[in-house]
Amino acid sequence: MSFKFKMDRNKRIIKIKPILNRFNISKTVSSIYEILNRYEENFQIFIWGVPYCYFPDAFDHIIYKKRKSKNYVKISECSLCRLNKICPGIEKGSVFNDGLKILKPVLSVPNEIVFEVSNKCLLDCEMCVKKNKKDGLKVKTIFKAIDRAADIGVKNIRFTGGEPLIYPQIADLVKYSKNKGFYTIINSSLLCDRSFIKEIGSFIDDILVSVHGFDEESEFEITKKRFFKKKILNINYAIKNIKRVRIGSVITKKLIDNFEKYLIALPSGIKVWELYRPMVGKNFLISKPEFDLNIEDYKKLLTKIKKSKSGYKICIANPIPFCAFRPEERNFLLGGVFDDGYTRIIMDSKGYFKPSYYININLGTEISESWDNNLLKSITWERKMSERCDRCLWFLKCLGGSRYASYEKYGSYKSEDPLIKKL
């Protein structure tokens, strides 16, 4: 075996230490990726002592710190790597000097491009940032951006809104995206005809369906529409026609209190139930305290998640500070790596790219130009972290919590997440 493997079942942690030489440096990559594929759903996996560019698709698992007794050098790939500022480089005399060809820069391009095709929607969710807006993207703009994404090596394309399934050319877009070789994702409320689900299902790899209640009335409280039964019927139909079906729900105090009712109401054939920390402004919370959650609320929710016996994964899927929770609870947190502009950028319905659904900074109108925007870098990977964050094993997953929440509380995307202040 070309690595040391240690599993802590109580804390749900696996530690891997590769033992590398010039003969096994390539083979070990595939072996460790196999471990990730097998255990990642149920364990936090950490890989010690290898540079991020050795596992560019699993960089957030790597613990790589500069050692005082070693000299480090930067290689040509470093200038393209998003983690250049936090990585010490390659150790002189290490096996990686002989295996430079297998090292690839991390996130030299975004992992995913998201298109907010339109703001039109069939629902009227009270926490939605797109509420009552009428902007929409021109289909030629989307096709052009998809072509550019293919040229530079982006892996995922996601269509969202508003409601993307009411966008007139959405069928053409998902087919084009899939035929271009992208992993194709849709965020939807799934209130279309079943015949349309069947028509486009084979071109969608992953659909995330918003469900905010456990029955008609609880759904109506947030969406102001009574479509709950239709959603559940269509989700069950989608499970038969789309490879991966997930549910997404914004966390409220009522959701936490009625967690068990959601488990009964949600279809058992889904792959994941994603729960989202509310991303709303200060004024909204004053009028809607149901969304004003504290650490104890999240701890209560995680306790219920741990006890649940569903056949699908349940997790808090957007930024929240890991340090508020015990190690065995952190497996239910996806962290900040998928949000705030760390690994993807979003084309706003007005035609420019921005860091996230909630951070409305105009980065530019071209993918590479937007990804290389210095402001984006300064609030994400090049942001100065606290010593507490820098020392943390979970740093590359948590990333210090939400940038949006930091801005709403302190007026700066570079500040600490306000939940950290309450620890």
Residue with tokens 């039109």: 120
Beta bridge partners of 245: 207
Q: Which residues contact 268 (CB under 8 A, 6 or more apart)?
A: 310, 311, 312
What is the chain's length? 423
Beta bridge partners of 157: 113, 184
Alpha-carbon distance 115 to 284, whole Å?
26
| pLDDT for 131 | 54
Count of C-beta atoms within a 10 Å radius of residue 100: 12
Mean pLDDT of 283-298: 93
Q: List, for residues 129-169, the tens digit of each pLDDT value.
A: 665 567 799 999 999 999 999 999 999 999 999 999 999 99
| pLDDT for 99 | 67
Strands of 181-230 (E only): list them: 183-188, 206-210
Helix or strand or coil: residue 327? Answer: helix
Q: Which residues contact 5 (CB under 8 A, 6 or more apart)?
A: 14, 15, 16, 35
On whether the pTM is more than 0.85, the answer is yes
Domains and CATH numbers, the chain: 3-102 (no CATH), 112-421 (3.20.20.70)
Say if CB 125 and CB 119 are below 8 A apart: no
Asked whether the predicted pLDDT for residue 386 surpasses 90, the reply is no
pLDDT grade for 69, boundaries at 50, 70 and 90: confident
Structure tokens belonging to residue 219: 């759904």
Query: CA-CA distances (angstroms) from residue 384 to 194, 281, 398?
Result: 49, 24, 14
